[in-house]
Structure 1
Amino acid sequence: MARGRDIAVWGLALAAFLLLWLAGAAALPWAFEVPKGWTVPAARWITAFTKWLLNDATFGLFTFAEFTRFIAAVIDLPYRFVLSILSTGFLEGQGSAAVQILPPLPWLGVALVFALFGLWAGGAGLAVLVLACFAFLLLFGQWQSAMVTLASILVAVPLGVAGGLALGVLCWRHPWVSRGVRPVLDLMQTIPVFAYLVPILILFGFGPTAAVVATLIYAMPPMTRVTELALARVPDEIQDLGRMVGCTPRQMLWRVMVPSARDGLMVGVNQVIMLSLNMVIIASMIGAGGLGFDVLAALRTLDFGAGLEAGLAIVALAIVLDRLSQAAARRRGEPRAGTWVARHPYLAGGVATILVAVLLGLAVPAVRDWPAAWVLSTGTFWSRIVEWINVNYFDAIEAGKNAVLLNILVPFKRLLLGLPWLGVSGLLAVAGWRLGGWRLAALAGMLATLIAVTGQWEKAMITVYLCGISVLFAMLIGVPIGILAAERERLWTVVRVVIDTLQTLPSFVYLMPAVMLFRVGDFTAMIAVVAYAVVPSVRYTVLGLKGVDPRLIEAGRAMGATGWQILARIKLRLALPEILLGLNQTIMFALSMLVITALVGTRDLGQEVYIALTKADPGRGLVAGLAVAFIAIIADRLIHAGARAARARLGLGEAAG
């Protein structure tokens, strides 16, 4: 009965859409292009509001601009301190006239202290891994840039964790706060970072501090969500025990709830670390420096080798911070008796290591600064590989590119650009209604209409076309790889290392070989997006297939099902909700990458955001960024609703993700 009703509703909706589309722009021009009188001048309003904040907004004793500059100064203090310890040393004076009065910590001291932390948190194996990652930074000449990046991470992560934890606690305690904050968190995670760089620059100034603020906006939402979820999942028995022993509300929170939710909270900390590292290149555009600046400089000169080495240095830092944070979360400490040194042997060892390294650095310069003559580089090798491919396979590459452009990309682009905005908004509303009820229908239809009435429809359709094609290719590549890896444990071990590396490589690194092989344009953007977005399709496919109940597989074998039938009719059907969530994450990755591909000539919302950044136009950038966010939210809500419906049909309950 319900299936017949669905078919009837979709039949009517598609018939109405086709009638509207066939009527054409000549008969109903307002359904294809929003009249100028209907356009909402949101960009002008946002720009005017930003100027008012900067020039006129006041709290009485001080202006809003003075308040933001004060925040910048407060953030700048710990950043400069950490940067002095790791990279620049302590300076007296400003600019080129500055004199170093104390040198930074020697590389040996930094590497050994982190290795000692790894030994404390995870044992000898982790300590060796940490040393290997720092050895890579040294050997390939990335140490100084890595320390600048590490300084910003060591400041941004504690601030992001503290802010996310505080907001998450509020959301857990007060449901109305959670309902109000959730849409803001959605926008913080889906608006391209480029879109809010301009207002951040205007309010906080150019430099590392503005980069830290941008990183906080990008990295804090996962910590907030994870905190709320982790606290909500603390068993009632633990809370009852806290009340029985007479805990005050503050004691209940910090001595009962937070320790009980520690494993979940550390997932949030890990996410803050990873997202902060993802921001290092974009942050370098507004003065952060470090490894991000090196990757950006390599992209500008198309030096693939240098960009790859700097990108792998970011991967090395990500591995160190990721493994250390996870190991620290799993570690369970035991109280020790005796002197301070006996109670804290690793801390004492760290202090002693630093002192010894500093003294050795004074006597042996190579301990303080890694000699330039010892630096290795594979940059020329990688650049020559790309050059060799270009020389020997140029005609084949061009033929393949043109075939895909002429037969797939261009026709699909023209199709989407010819669709009526009113019909597309209506179809999205119908999809929302059938999957999630009237509330989702209103959300999907309203957000699509807002894209149209703010004048972003054409560029939004180009974004959807590029994102859609890229996601299709990413799923066609990722799902089969995931199926093969789920069946073969050794293959999965190899694939996991590859996709972990791909996920931590900066997105800008993917652009360089794509541009060098395919020049600029939509095809190049698609290749870069597919390479960046294929990871979740693999990971979630493996997750779904490995999560299938083995008893169901055995039952299928007992009934005489072949291996193909077990895969197609049991495993893939039961893994469909997770595969749909993988599709959702692939779309999110593709949208985040599309903004960056504006650097290689796409003419979508990403280009609009990038132009706004170059022209310092906050209104234009935020409106285009909000359009990207609306596309992401529509896709996210519809796919999540579809995954829930799939789980309900299969009797699997709610999705964990």
Structure 2
Amino acid sequence: MRWRQQGAERWPGWAAWALAIGLFMALWLYCADLFPWAADYPKSLRIPAARWITAVTKWLLNDATFGVFTFSEFTRFIAALLDVPYRFVLSLISTGFLRGEGSQAVQILPPLSWVAVIGCGAILGQRAGGRRLAALVVGCLAFVLVFGQWQSAMVTLASILVAVPLGVAGGLLMGILAFRHPWFERAIRPVLDLMQTIPVFAYLVPILILFGFGPTAAVVATLIYAMPPMTRITELALRRVPSELIDLGHMVGCTRRQMMWRVMVPASKDALMVGVNQVIMLSLNMVIIASMIGAGGLGFDVLAALRRLDFGAGLEAGFAIVALAVALDRLSQAFAHLRPEPLAGGGIAARHPYLLSGLALILAAGLAGLAVPALQSWPEAFELSTGTFWSRVVEWINVNFFDTIEAVKNAVLLNLLVPFKRFLGGLPWAGVTALLAFAGWRLGGWRLGALIAGLAFLIAATGQWEKATITVYLCGISTVFAMLIGVPIGILAAERDGVWTPVRVVIDTLQTLPSFVYLMPAVMLFRVGDFTAMIAVVAYAVVPAVRYTVLGLKGVDPRLIEAGRAMGCTRGQILRRIKLRLALPEILLGLNQTVMFALSMLVITALVGTRDLGQEVYIALTKADPGRGLVAGLAVAFIAIITDRLISASARAARARLGLGMT
């Protein structure tokens, strides 16, 4: 009786899906004859969005004015303002302070020596997390130094030290405004979605046109990419401040400003530091793309190595970025959990011992560097390199396993990639749009259905449907493989404590390695094409599949596991019937993030011959066509938003079915 009742409750949903799929199949089979416009969007009705965007960009550059000054002068003024702190930090840690320009420049004061930089890193580590963190920071910086990446790393670090404070401050202020004014939050939500999902390549051209070529344009691009997480986390953290603290602030007579800066922001410190950490990580992810518009540093080294297919040199520069990322990540996390020490009595030395130690170290290292040049700049004779070794490893694999690699590549291409690509390419845009809208309506109501329908329609109406299907095909196949690899690894790591530690080290490294680094071995082993792109995307996107699976399984209530054991369940039954079911929402969120990682990587794989939206964005960058690039970038963003909304709605539905509440 109970089974029949449940079936009756579920039947209307299944019936609706069956009807929707039946209508879709009918449209697919007969649209070419009855409704040709439903199969291929008519060219005469396309929206000329690319031409409009290009015209607006030219108008902003040539004609837009605020009366006293033009828009172009305003953007160049912003670039000049950003250039001041960047040049100061760059002079301090990399080039030294110079007099004159170009080849006529004369160094009047040397930069901080490697001894001073590593020593200051050790002092920060000791202050934030003790000896272990100090040793980790020293180890990371020493790795960069010994392997000959110091100068490039300092150029990269200069960009990070400028971009991160600006990104944190801008994201904090926008988050506070979104918290205080609901209309502002509603207005910036879609903007933040687009900032996080539009490929960076797409807005490099407008940034170059408006801000010029150079490091400051790279800082602007980094801010656009890295600021949204700080804004979202700030708003969320402020909304989660306990009401008791707010009531206490009102009771003691706090003004609105005091309530924000002395009560709510300090109470949200832990969450806000998570946002700071995200800004740091995303800024480091940008270093290679930023090098395309003049940032230089480690990103330029990786990009140059990719162009000449020098895997060893690119891997070493990539590992240097990883070392910087690990040091900055651990420092930011440690400062997030650091509790303020009570002010000591006595003089300034007792109150600020770490600051004075750092200044003393800088002065002593500077004087020592004048006497012993090796203490100022690490001698090239002492530098190490494993680049040749890694290049020979790839060469050995090519020589000994070429036939096997080609056989696997051709088998996957002919039996999986090409058929799936043709299948998606043959689907009618109108039917796919309607089916996606129906899925949105079933999962999240009419608003979600309307949003998805509108975004899918815009992809077709702007002429991007064919390339979008190729993007979806590559992203879909790569996501499936990433989940098939990542979920079992996540289950193993969650079930066996000894496995999680090495797995965490590996996925942390994979997450911080620049995405371009994945392309070099893939190209050297598999040549160019869709299979190469898929391999690179899977390697890049497998991390969230592992991480969220572990998060979900480790978050299962231990009382439920004990109840299962008391009922006589085996270990496998507890995993299948309790843990995996309760971890399903987190695994779905991992699927969501895997898709986002895959989409971001697909734009970069345009460099290895894919014919999707990523290539369209890259072509627009090479031709300096802002309209073409932004339209293709918006199409990628729309795919990301559709996927995100559908999977998020599925995760909410799964949590509701399991009685886990809403998060």
TM range (shorter): over 0.9
Pairing 1:37-56 to 2, within 5 Å after superposition: 37-56=44-63
User: Is structure 2 residue 495 aligned with structure 1 residue 487?
Assistant: yes
Distance of 2:489 and 2:655 partners within structure 1? 23
Partner of residue 298, structure 1: 305
The superposition leaves residues 426-485 of structure 1 with CA deviations (integer Å, 9 ceiling, x where unpaired) of 010000000000000001111001000000000000000000000000000000000111
Pairing 1:334-345 to 2, within 5 Å after superposition: 334=341, 335-345=343-353
Distance of 2:530 and 2:14 partners within structure 1? 36
Distance of 2:369 and 2:56 partners within structure 1? 53
The superposition leaves residues 182-218 of structure 1 with CA deviations (integer Å, 9 ceiling, x where unpaired) of 0000000000000000000000000000000000000
Distance of 1:161 and 1:150 partners within structure 2? 16
TM-score (norm 2): 0.98
Distance of 2:408 and 2:35 partners within structure 1? 39
- 2:219 pairs, out of 212, 217, 231, with 212
Distance of 1:185 and 1:626 partners within structure 2? 13
Distance of 2:560 and 2:157 partners within structure 1? 48
Flag structure 2 segments of 5+ consecutive residues without an equivalent: 1-7
Distance of 2:554 and 2:136 partners within structure 1? 28
The superposition leaves residues 247-266 of structure 1 with CA deviations (integer Å, 9 ceiling, x where unpaired) of 11111111111111000100
Question: Does 222-231 or 17-26 show the bigger shift?
Answer: 17-26
- 1:412 pairs, out of 420, 434, 456, with 420
Distance of 1:450 and 1:24 partners within structure 2? 20
User: Is structure 2 residue 618 aligned with structure 1 residue 610?
Assistant: yes
SS of the residue corresponding to residue 100 of structure 1 reads strand
- 1:457 pairs, out of 465, 490, 493, with 465
Distance of 2:361 and 2:571 partners within structure 1? 58
SS of the residue corresponding to residue 583 of structure 2 reads helix
SS of the residue corresponding to residue 357 of structure 2 reads helix
Partner of residue 517, structure 1: 525
Residue type of the alignment partner of 1:13: A
- 1:556 pairs, out of 560, 564, 572, with 564
Partner of residue 590, structure 1: 598
SS of the residue corresponding to residue 247 of structure 1 reads coil
Distance of 1:378 and 1:98 partners within structure 2? 35
Distance of 1:338 and 1:175 partners within structure 2? 48
Q: 1:338 offset after TM fit, Å?
A: 1.2
- 1:84 pairs, out of 86, 91, 105, with 91
Partner of residue 568, structure 1: 576
Distance of 1:2 and 1:514 partners within structure 2? 50
- 1:647 pairs, out of 619, 638, 655, with 655
Pairing 1:354-503 to 2, within 5 Å after superposition: 354-503=362-511
Residue type of the alignment partner of 1:635: T
Q: 1:25 offset after TM fit, Å?
A: 2.1
Distance of 1:577 and 1:438 partners within structure 2? 23
Partner of residue 35, structure 2: 28
Distance of 1:407 and 1:174 partners within structure 2? 54
Pairing 1:100-249 to 2, within 5 Å after superposition: 100-249=107-256
Distance of 1:290 and 1:222 partners within structure 2? 25
- 2:554 pairs, out of 546, 549, 556, with 546
Q: 1:24 offset after TM fit, Å?
A: 4.2
Q: CA RMSD in A?
A: 0.7
Residue type of the alignment partner of 2:657: R
Residue type of the alignment partner of 1:10: W
Distance of 2:31 and 2:193 partners within structure 1? 36
SS of the residue corresponding to residue 337 of structure 1 reads coil
The superposition leaves residues 289-319 of structure 1 with CA deviations (integer Å, 9 ceiling, x where unpaired) of 0000000000001111100000000000001
The superposition leaves residues 376-414 of structure 1 with CA deviations (integer Å, 9 ceiling, x where unpaired) of 000000000000000000000000000000000000000
SS of the residue corresponding to residue 62 of structure 1 reads coil
SS of the residue corresponding to residue 370 of structure 1 reads coil
SS of the residue corresponding to residue 234 of structure 1 reads coil
Distance of 2:455 and 2:573 partners within structure 1? 41
Question: Does 97-106 or 506-515 show the bigger shift?
Answer: 97-106
SS of the residue corresponding to residue 524 of structure 1 reads helix
Question: Does 330-339 or 186-195 show the bigger shift?
Answer: 330-339
Residue type of the alignment partner of 1:446: G
Partner of residue 69, structure 1: 76
Distance of 1:24 and 1:179 partners within structure 2? 39
User: Is structure 2 residue 104 aligned with structure 1 residue 93?
Assistant: no
Question: Does 456-465 or 173-182 show the bigger shift?
Answer: 173-182
Question: Does 276-285 or 567-576 show the bigger shift?
Answer: 567-576
Residue type of the alignment partner of 2:346: G
Question: Does 3-12 or 614-623 show the bigger shift?
Answer: 3-12
Q: 1:554 offset after TM fit, Å?
A: 1.7
Residue type of the alignment partner of 2:480: L
Partner of residue 626, structure 1: 634
Q: 1:563 offset after TM fit, Å?
A: 2.0
The superposition leaves residues 591-650 of structure 1 with CA deviations (integer Å, 9 ceiling, x where unpaired) of 000000000000000000000000000000000000000000000000000000000000
Residue type of the alignment partner of 1:116: I
Q: 1:562 offset after TM fit, Å?
A: 2.2
Distance of 1:144 and 1:25 partners within structure 2? 60
Q: 1:328 offset after TM fit, Å?
A: 1.0
Q: 1:567 offset after TM fit, Å?
A: 1.2
Distance of 1:207 and 1:25 partners within structure 2? 51
Q: 1:28 offset after TM fit, Å?
A: 2.1
Distance of 2:147 and 2:515 partners within structure 1? 21
Question: Does 327-336 or 11-20 show the bigger shift?
Answer: 327-336
1:282–1:639 distance in 2 versus 1, CA, 3 Å: same
Q: 1:2 offset after TM fit, Å?
A: 4.3
Distance of 2:226 and 2:499 partners within structure 1? 32
User: Is structure 2 residue 296 aligned with structure 1 residue 289?
Assistant: yes
The superposition leaves residues 227-270 of structure 1 with CA deviations (integer Å, 9 ceiling, x where unpaired) of 00111111011011111111111111111111110001000000
Distance of 1:131 and 1:559 partners within structure 2? 52
Distance of 1:436 and 1:539 partners within structure 2? 26
Distance of 1:27 and 1:256 partners within structure 2? 65
User: Is structure 2 residue 332 aligned with structure 1 residue 325?
Assistant: yes
Distance of 2:120 and 2:382 partners within structure 1? 23
Distance of 2:528 and 2:32 partners within structure 1? 32
The superposition leaves residues 55-93 of structure 1 with CA deviations (integer Å, 9 ceiling, x where unpaired) of 000000000000000000000000000000010111111
TM-score (norm 1): 0.99
